[in-house]
Amino acid sequence: MKILAIETSCDETAIAIIEITGPKKRPVLHMLSHIVSSQAKLHAKFGGVVPNLANREHQKNLVPLLLEALKESKLLQKVSRETKNNKILNTKYLLLNTVLEREPELLKQFKKHVAPLQTPPVDTIAVTYGPGLAPALWVGVNFAKALAYLWKKSLIPVNHMEGHIFSAITNVPLTQRSPHKWNIRKIRFPALALLVSGGHTELVIMPKYGTYKLIGETRDDAAGEAFDKVARILELPYPGGPEISRFAEKGDSKKYQFPRPMINTKDYNFSFSGLKTAVFYTVRGFASSEEAKPRRLPKKDIAASFQKAVVDVLIKKTIRAAKGYKVKTILLGGGVSANKKLREELIESIKNNKLKADCRMPEAALAGDNALMIAIAAYFTGKKKAWTNVQADANLQF
Ligand code: KG4
Ligand code: ZN
């Protein structure tokens, strides 16, 4: 079985193709192609993701990425004889014009480079349909619909957050074991997932594959958003997470006593907006003092103290939920799961609390948005639909 997956929920345009072989109980996953094109540099000028710019970039990127992915997977078929038969192509175009009517740039490239291709031997197409930035999601979803229509394939809509869960579950070792092939290990249930990204901070209980119960989430800023906003306060570039963690490595995390919002509340919710404000006031304090130059700011210590506050809250609540729900597996996923301190402290806390739970997290290179996780989620829990029944849902929830 071969799955082609598309991800465009934020500022990464990503396409992956996987093949699954072996018995159903012990499937073997082959990564035929895994391409992520990041727009981060472009958005950095604006200090964060600009939805309409992301939409335009996805339109520009998708067709070249698809051709590259097909080529890499050796699934690119020669141009079909149909190209010579303009009549057939023109009828195809009629509906394509409607499917991609809001993506003119993508439509142009699609007609030129994709419509003439022979149908590649993939079984189904998977696409992130939410949550995310609406203008970004539309492009990927409409592109997937156009492909499903053109190639007469089913379409599997995938929840982006479920993708992050599967990227932790499969724990794909991209940098080890060649050539990109691995046995999918099963996990023990119930599982608990801590999902931390630019738009979400969630604790999710998973009694089995495909069943999710949201037990806690952020009341205001997401963890990644807090990293991004604090980076801006410290005049560090977007995306802030990697920058803050780099600075924090050489800083003193005890130097500033930032608040740990909601750390002792009995629920499993989070709040990071007050913490960000506390950092802001600390930085402003420096600006109004004698040695007011921004370059004199103790960025490393502030970054380390801020990061420690975020990690403390995330871990405390995760451990409490793990105990409360007696979970057998703890999963960590989402862009912020690339954070070294968070990864180390989670493993350490599981040990210190003598929890008999396995811990899984993606390799740092797969913590951020990618289409491989969408393909894997589609394989495990996806439901095939007709392309006409798939719509983007920016506010999709578990
Ligand atoms: O999952 P993701 O790639 O995109 C969304 O679905 O939002 O997460 C992106 C977020 C950004 O806020 C980014 O700053 C944060 O993940 N991030 C990090 C690190 N790497 C990325 N946060 C903390 N430490 C990191 N090393
Ligand atoms: Zn994400």
Strand, coil or helix: 357:
coil
Alpha helices in the chain (DSSP H): 40-44, 51-72, 86-99, 104-109, 134-151, 160-170, 223-233, 240-249, 273-287, 299-324, 340-352, 372-381
Q: Tell me the pLDDT tens digit for each residue of 21-38.
A: 988 888 888 999 999 999
215: pLDDT confidence band, cut at 50, 70 and 90?
Answer: very high
State whether the beta carbon of 329 lies less than 6 angstroms from ligand 1.
Answer: no
Which residue among 195, 227, 339 is best mutated to probe the pocket of ligand 1, counting the most ligand atoms within 8 A of its Cβ? 227
**139 contacts: CB under 8 Å, gap ≥ 6:** 8, 55, 58, 59, 62, 103, 106
Closest atom of ligand 1 relative to the 338 alpha carbon? 26
Give the residue carrying structure tokens 């405390």.
Answer: 316
Residue-wise DSSP of 216-228: EEBSSS-HHHHHH
Strand, coil or helix: 308:
helix
Predicted local confidence at residue 88, as pLDDT: 57
Q: How many residues does the chain have?
A: 398
Predicted local confidence at residue 80, as pLDDT: 60
pTM: predicted TM-score of the whole model, two decimal places: 0.95
State whether the beta carbon of 163 lies less than 6 angstroms from ligand 1.
Answer: no
Cα 268 to Cα 49, 62, 180, 315, 339: the distances in Å are: 28, 38, 37, 11, 21
State whether the beta carbon of 240 lies less than 6 angstroms from ligand 1.
Answer: yes
pLDDT above 90 covers what percent of the chain?
Answer: 85
**293 contacts: CB under 8 Å, gap ≥ 6:** none
Q: Whose CA is nearest to atom 8 of ligand 1?
A: 335
For the chain, the average pLDDT equals: 93
